[in-house]
Amino acid sequence: MIAPAHTTTVTRARLVLVAIALGLAALDLGLKAWAERGLTDGRYVDLGVIQLRLAFNPGVAFSLGDTLPAWLVLTLTGLIITGLAVYTWRTARTGTRPTRLALGVVLAGAVANFVDRARDGVVTDYLHTGWFPTFNGADVYITLGAITLILATLHAERRATHRTERGAP
């Protein structure tokens, strides 16, 4: 029996989401492992605008919650990631390509930081600007994914408003 085209499209979209999330998470985890080995004893790499410099964050964004027990931070972020994964999986059926991509990228960042934190209770950071807290690739994924999600939502709302104004269904 041949699957309907819609089912095949949804399956393909979900597979792409999983590949994006796993691939980007693996990339960030690899960079974190490199940073932990190569940026020890205060060593850093100066790239001009940004430095590769090792730091560890026991909290979440901007070190919020850094005094909370690691098990609590892990539990709460795990619950949030589970909810995000379910939402992302379901959105593959109806979401636009930019929305699906944004959710996959956010999920990648969340999973990478979760896996990193699960090892020893802290997240490894390696991108340092001097004027902003040190961060990592997973943080970049979450930020860029969230911005893309907001822009995709605003664009979809603008298109819907435009269609309504023209009298289209």
pLDDT attached to residue 167: 64
For the chain, the domains span 5-166
pLDDT attached to residue 157: 76
pLDDT attached to residue 57: 92
Mean pLDDT of 150-164: 79
* Active-site pick, 66, 116, 120, 139: 139
Structure-model confidence comparison of residues 16 and 4, the more confident one? 16
Question: What's the pLDDT band for 164 if we cut at 50, 70, 90?
Answer: low
**Burial of 102 by CB count in 10 Å (0-12 exposed, 13-18 middle, 19+ buried)?**
buried
Output the pTM of the full model. Answer: 0.85
Q: Is 125 considered catalytic here?
A: yes
Give tens-digit pLDDT for 70-97.
Answer: 899 999 999 999 999 999 988 888 888 8
The share of the chain scoring above pLDDT 90, in percent, equals: 63
pLDDT attached to residue 143: 96
What span, in angstroms and rounded, lies between the C-alpha atoms of 65 and 138?
18
Q: Is 120 considered catalytic here?
A: no
* Active-site pick, 66, 116, 120, 125: 125
Helix (H) / strand (E) containing 75: helix 70-94
| Average model confidence (pLDDT) across the chain | 89
Length of the chain: 169
